[in-house]
Amino acid sequence: MTVLAPQLRTRIKFCGLTRPEDVDAAVAAGADALGFVLWPGSKRALDEQRLAELSERVPAFVTRVGLFVDPNLALVARAAEHLDLLQFHGDEPPGTCMAVGRPWIKALRMRDGLDLPAAAEAYRGAAALLLDAYRPGVPGGTGETFDWSRIPASLAKPVILAGGLTPDNVAEAIAAVAPFAVDVSGGIEAAPGVKDATRMAAFQRAVRRADDVRCGA
Ligand SMILES: O=C(O)c1ccccc1NCC(=O)[C@H](O)[C@H](O)COP(=O)(O)O
């Protein structure tokens, strides 16, 4: 087995977990980060009690990420007690993202005309930018890809690639974009909010194979 330099190992984030058994399966499959949706409009939404229950199952060194869409900051502050990283999916300005004083990432939906270098500069306080497909009125979890060639070869922030990834297309995505991390929700599900352990494991294997190809193993 090839051991990759840390910067070449594509990190994996599984998003939209709602069930304890899915948290356990995601960790077993080798996820680096788990996403919990705290936007009530989502089919994958958690309330604070459920977030606390799921968060407790996550072992050290797996990052717990909370997803928000134009949230009330009091909710963010309470939820942050159970989280390592905040992910903002709405139209939050940088000041909102940093208001709670915790590490954060900004999701950018790839609408026509989005100027990524300018966004990277505007959100320079972010730990990373998550690039996702754009569908009007849907803040995330569309299950749709976007044109990966729109992502510049170098950006001032690490890129987390999201949007319509699956065990079947993630290798192609990694070859095209060489992102810091990949993020998937619908592509590892049996139904919205119900993860499929077999698909999570297949996704992880596909990422590792793509990394081997990248390093010429
Ligand atoms: O998943 C949701 O329902 C959701 C709702 C509101 C904001 C964000 C949401 N999900 C965000 C994610 O991080 C997804 O993983 C990302 O959008 C990719 O989803 P998919 O295309 O299904 O892999």
Atom of ligand 1 nearest to the CA of 90: 7
List the residue whose alpha carbon is closest to atom 5 of ligand 1: 140
Cite the beta strand spans of the chain per DSSP E. 11-15, 33-37, 63-68, 85-88, 104-109, 129-132, 159-161, 181-184, 189-191, 194-195
Query: Both tokens of residue 189?
Result: 């599900």
Outline where 16-67 has alpha helix (H).
Answer: 20-28, 48-56
User: Does 15 qualify as catalytic in the annotation?
Assistant: yes
Whether ligand 1 lies within 6 angstroms of the CB of 145 is answered as no
Whether ligand 1 lies within 6 angstroms of the CB of 39 is answered as yes
User: Does 132 qualify as catalytic in the annotation?
Assistant: yes
Instruction: Answer for the pair 129, 157: CB distance below 8 angstroms, yes or no.
Output: yes
Active-site pick, 15, 22, 97, 183: 15
User: What structural domains and CATH numbers belong to the chain?
Assistant: 8-214 (3.20.20.70)
Q: Predicted ipTM?
A: 0.97
pLDDT per residue, tens digit, the chain (217 aa), is 555 555 579 999 999 999 999 999 999 999 999 999 999 999 999 999 999 999 999 999 999 999 999 999 999 999 999 999 999 999 999 999 999 999 999 999 999 999 999 999 999 999 999 999 999 999 999 999 999 999 999 999 999 999 999 999 999 999 999 999 999 999 999 999 999 999 999 999 999 999 999 888 6
Q: pTM for the complete prediction? A: 0.95
